[in-house]
Structure 1
Amino acid sequence: MTQLSKPFRHSYGFRFRDIPSYAVSMILGVGWENTMSADYNWNGLTRESPSMLLFQYTISGTGRIRIGDQTYTLNAGNGFLVWVPSDHHYYFPADSSHWEYLYISLTGNILPIYNELAASLGSISSFPADSSAIQLLRNIFEMARRQQIKDGYIASALSYQFLTELSRSAVYPASSQQFPTGIQRALEYMELHYDTLGSLDEIAEIAEMSKYHFLREFRRCTGIPPIEYLNKLRIEKAVNLLRTTSMSLQEIAQSIGYSNSNYFSKVFRGWVGVSPGQFRREHSLLASDHLFLR
């Protein structure tokens, strides 16, 4: 998708009778547009449409939205999330050359989901163009353009997948390729020195940040605090040792950075759900070679 020098509108709507009885949500419409007209404006209290969740993502140019008594300028990378009907008004501003955007509207029993997303993401959010939510939105648009959304089952599955990606972006807002340099440096250091790390101050020093700024940034990027991330690394290493060696629990605990096996067992159970001993006895029942933890 590239910016064009003239207005265009590619929009697709969906109304299916054959929908799964368990469908939580459905795609109502999806589109890619470039507007240059002051006639473009939508008031969330007066528009005639079914109740729906609307997500709109700016590709290029500038738009504007008022939500309640707050007005926001929307530039490339900004997305807004609103419920229709509600007190909002988005429009093409007079000082903009164009506003190019992707949008998707979803309907169904999803007002509680919208409320949860609005609380975690906020009404206005920033998304890298290569983020999973935006890539999925592009894919849904492309499927619509190719007439591949042929029934309510596909529309429901894609709708639920998009809601899930939005939720995931609130919990894990960045990929490792997008982490600030200091956080990336800390992650690499933790991977190499998980067995000898002594304190949070040591990791923050590697990141060249104050401890409290590091805590905020690390959690923003990874979704979990640094000490919890360190425990995850250690347990992943322990899983491999339990599977591939005959080391005792005390030996494994010390090799990954824990001073005693009792504490190691407590942390292990918290991440894996069973004790290290039970995991070792039963690991052959698992079909996978690696266990990923979150």
Structure 2
Amino acid sequence: MFSTFPYKAIKYQFSSDLPLITLTGIGFQNITDHSYSWHNLHRHDKHCLIQYCISGQGVLTINNSTYTITSGKAFLLNIPSNSHYYLPQNSTHWKFIYLEFSPEVLPLLCKIYNKLGPVISLANYPSLLTQIANFYTKALNNKLQSVFINTKLAYNFWIDLLKYNLAYDANNLTKTDIAKNFLEQNFANSNLNIDTIAEQIGYSKYHLCKTFHKQFGISPMKYLQNLRISTACKLLINNPTWTIKKIAYHVGYNNDDYFCKVFKNLKGITPNTFRKQSIHYDILQTIYDFSATKKNTLM
């Protein structure tokens, strides 16, 4: 499908008063130089990235988790983030096509990410691959400069990605998936602890922590903390009259001073300062914290 495409990188920039999802960049590359390396924490070009591997292999790291990206797999990232992707020394090349989308797509990206993780397999979904190829063909023929055509194709693509997300077989759930779901349903319980979670799935505390970290790249209690603070962010924005004490209680903290301490340690600002923020993308990026879930690559 991609074999006849020329190697090229194309950028788009649109000016609109509407918060539209747009394709802002697309490219087809065959990397053979091992200096190819993108550290994303301090990048200034805010966007959401999907990079699909056609052949060869690359490596993606997110915090302390490492993923090998082989043919048929794609990774999803928000930029900037604490992530790094590169051509490893044991790979002769990495041929891929990448798509960059405007920050407005971040909530949709996070919905997929939080269920399937940062790496997904697209080999068995030809309709999505056809859409990717269609994006590139139209880009090569200068048919994506219209913000309306661009947006329409971008929305269609992300709706199909969400369908892919919903079609994920629930029978594939592991016990650590069940533990994660249990945390998401009971995070507001201030008495929730590692013993309760382990008992829920029939694991020892040690085995739960080991398997949870292996699958999601984070400990159960750190995930619980991130989940509580992420939910608190939403409550701070959507309930401006709620006191900090009330929000703390609704996310599982009986002590609002301790809640403020945890919030500042995790987000770098106090809850009140966060509430006063007005930059749309920065708020979205804080709410949908990618360090909350890092699921293993789907096989």
Superposition TM-score, scaled by structure 2 size: 0.53
Please report how far the alpha carbon of residue 156 of structure 1 lies from its aligned counterpart in structure 2 after TM superposition.
Answer: 1.2
Residues 2 and 114 of structure 1: CA distance in aligned 2, closer, same or farther (over 3 Å): closer
Matched, 1:158 2:153: yes
Contact 2:12 2:145 in 1 (8 A): no
Partner Cα distance (2:64, 2:103) in 1? 28
Aligned pairs (5 A) from 1:130-279: 130-173=125-168, 216=171
- What's the secondary structure of 2:133's corresponding residue? helix
Provide the rounded CA distance (Å) in 2 between the counterparts of 1:94 and 1:123.
Answer: 22
Q: Secondary structure at the match of 1:39?
A: coil
Residue 87 of structure 1: how far off its partner (Å): 0.8
Is the contact between residue 49 and residue 78 of structure 2 (CA under 8 Å) also seen in structure 1? yes
Residue 117 of structure 1 and its aligned partner are, at CA, apart by 1.7
The structure 1 residue matched to 2:14, chosen from 5, 13, 16, is 16
* Residue equivalent to 1:124: 119
Q: CA deviation at 1:35?
A: 0.5
Q: Gapped runs of 5+ residues in structure 1?
A: 175-214, 218-294
After superposition, the C-alpha distances for 1:27-62 in whole angstroms (9 at most, x for unaligned) are 11011111101121111102331x211000000001
Deviations 1:8-29 (A, max 9, x none): 7311110123x4x544311110
3-state SS in 2 of match to 1:15: coil
Q: Work out the CA distance in 2 between the residues paired with 1:129 and 1:48.
A: 34
C-alpha distance in structure 2 between counterparts of 1:165 and 1:64, whole Å = 26
Matches within 5 A, 1:48-59: 48-49=44-45, 51-59=46-54
After superposition, give the CA deviation of every residue in 1:113-147 in whole Å (9 maximum; x if it has no partner). 22212112310111116522221111101110111
Any unmatched runs of 5+ in structure 2? Answer: 173-299
**Runs of at least 4 residues off by over 6 Å:** none
Q: Helix, strand or coil for the counterpart of 1:73? A: strand
> Over aligned residues, Cα RMSD in angstroms?
2.3
Deviation at 1:2, TM superposition (A): 5.1
Name the SS for the 1:95 alignment partner. coil
CA distance in 1, matches of 2:157, 2:58: 23
**Residues 16, 35 of structure 1: alpha-carbon distance in 2 compared, 3 angstrom cutoff:** same
Q: Distance between the aligned counterparts of 1:171 and 1:15, measured in 2?
A: 31
**Is 2:27 the partner of 1:31?**
yes
Please state if 1:114 is matched with 2:109: yes
Q: How far off its partner does 1:69 sit?
A: 0.6
Bigger Rg, structure 1 or 2: 1
Residue 41 of structure 2 is aligned to residue 45 of structure 1: yes
Normalised to the residue count of structure 1, the TM-score between the two structures is 0.54
Give CA deviations for 1:156-214 in whole Å, capped at 9, x if unaligned: 1122122112111111259xxxxxxxxxxxxxxxxxxxxxxxxxxxxxxxxxxxxxxxx
% same residue: 27
> Could you tell which deviates more after superposition, 128-137 or 164-173?
128-137
CA gap 1:92/1:148 in 2 versus in 1, 3 angstroms: same
Greater length-normalized contact order (CA 8 Å, ≥ 6 residues apart)? 2
2:62 matched residue in structure 1: 67
Mapped partners of 1:89, 1:29: distance in 2: 19
